[in-house]
Amino acid sequence: MPESPIRSLELTLRSIRFAYAEGTWAMDVPSLSLGGDSLCAVVGPNGSGKSTLLKIAVGLLPPQEGRVIWNGVPVGGISRRLLARSLGFLPQESAPLFDYTVEQVAALGRHAYGAGLEATAPEDRAAVDCALDAVELTALRRRRLSHLSGGERRRAWIASALAQEPSLLLLDEPTLALDLHQAASVMQVLSARSASKTRMVVVLHDLNLAALFCPRVILMQNGRIEADDVPSRIFTRERLKAVYGSGVEVFLHPRTQRPVVQPAI
Query: Between 146 and 257, whose beta carbon lies closer to other proteins?
Result: 146
Instruction: Select the residue interacting with other proteins from 44, 49, 109, 259 (CB under 8 A).
Output: 109
User: Judged by CB under 8 A, which stretch of 27-35, 156-164, 225-233, 244-252 contacts other proteins?
Assistant: 156-164
Minimum CB separation from other proteins for residue 130, in Å?
17
Query: Between 66 and 109, whose beta carbon lies closer to other proteins?
Result: 109
For 28, counting Cβ atoms within 10 Å of its Cβ (0-12 exposed, 13-18 middle, 19+ buried), the class is middle
Taking each helix axis from N to C end, the angle separating 122-134 and 150-163, rounded to the nearest 10 degrees, works out to 140
The Cα-based distances of 236 to 152, 155, 195 in angstroms read 34, 32, 26
Query: Between 146 and 246, whose beta carbon lies closer to other proteins?
Result: 146
Minimum CB separation from other proteins for residue 220, in Å?
20
Minimum CB separation from other proteins for residue 74, in Å?
16
- Cα–Cα distance measured from residue 28 to residue 33, given in angstroms and rounded to the nearest whole number: 14
Query: Between 160 and 194, whose beta carbon lies closer to other proteins?
Result: 160
Instruction: Select the residue interacting with other proteins from 77, 116, 150, 247 (CB under 8 A).
Output: 116
Minimum CB separation from other proteins for residue 44, in Å?
20
User: Judged by CB under 8 A, which stretch of 10-18, 34-42, 105-113, 251-259 contacts other proteins?
Assistant: 105-113
Q: Cβ contacts of residue 173 below 8 Å, gap of 6+?
A: 51, 92, 203, 204, 205
> CB 70: neighbour CB atoms within 10 A?
24
Minimum CB separation from other proteins for residue 24, in Å?
18
Minimum CB separation from other proteins for residue 150, in Å?
12
- Cα–Cα distance measured from residue 259 to residue 242, given in angstroms and rounded to the nearest whole number: 17
Instruction: Select the residue interacting with other proteins from 9, 11, 41, 108 (CB under 8 A).
Output: 108
Are residues 107 and 115 in contact, defined by beta-carbon separation less than 8 angstroms?
yes
CA geometry: angle at 210 spanning 34 and 49, to 5°?
Answer: 60
Query: Between 104 and 208, whose beta carbon lies closer to other proteins?
Result: 104
Q: Cβ contacts of residue 261 below 8 Å, gap of 6+?
A: 207, 208, 211, 235, 240, 248, 249, 250
For 37, counting Cβ atoms within 10 Å of its Cβ (0-12 exposed, 13-18 middle, 19+ buried), the class is middle
Task: Give, as ranges, the residues between 30 and 89 that touch other proteins (CB under 8 A).
Answer: 55, 58, 60-61, 79-85, 88-89
C-alpha neighbours within 13 Å on the C-beta side of residue 210: 26
Task: Give, as ranges, the residues between 157 and 176 that touch other proteins (CB under 8 A).
Answer: 157, 160-161, 164
Binding site for other proteins (CB under 8 A): 55, 58, 60-61, 79-85, 88-91, 93-100, 104-105, 108-109, 111-112, 116-118, 157, 160-161, 164
